[in-house]
Amino acid sequence: MTDRGNADRGQDAANAGATTRADLARAVQRKVGLSQTESAELVEQMLDQISVTLERGDGVKLSSFGTFKIRHKRERTGRNPKTGVEAAITPRRVLVFKASNQMKAKINGVEPTGDDDED
């Protein structure tokens, strides 16, 4: 998002190339013209709204970007690969993201087809 990489800011290699909240706020500031504080608040409010919606168990669909959904996983028996000992894996909810067809086309350098109704 920015001209300088995360490595230039002293972050570890695992985060190199990752866009941060601060990067998003700076982009909003540049494109929309809000102050740095207002831009950071806007980004935070958007992320909070997405989080609240997902916590309720509802999905979030961002056109031309993708869909976040909560998947319910049932209890199952797993096995420790090292020891072979079986263990119960408790039921849980997991977050799933599915990129839109347009996003898939963009990251693969292909012209988007405009067909983005796939769930």
Tens place of pLDDT per residue across the chain (119 aa): 444 444 444 455 566 789 999 999 999 999 999 999 999 999 999 999 999 999 999 999 999 999 999 999 999 999 999 999 999 999 999 999 999 999 999 999 988 776 555 54
Q: How many whole angstroms separate alpha carbon 114 and alpha carbon 93?
A: 32
DSSP 14: G
| Distance in angstroms (rounded) separating the CA atoms of residues 29 and 35 | 6
Q: Record the pTM.
A: 0.71
> Are 6 and 16 in contact, with CB atoms under 8 Å apart?
yes
Indicate the pairing of strand 92-99 with strand 66-73. antiparallel
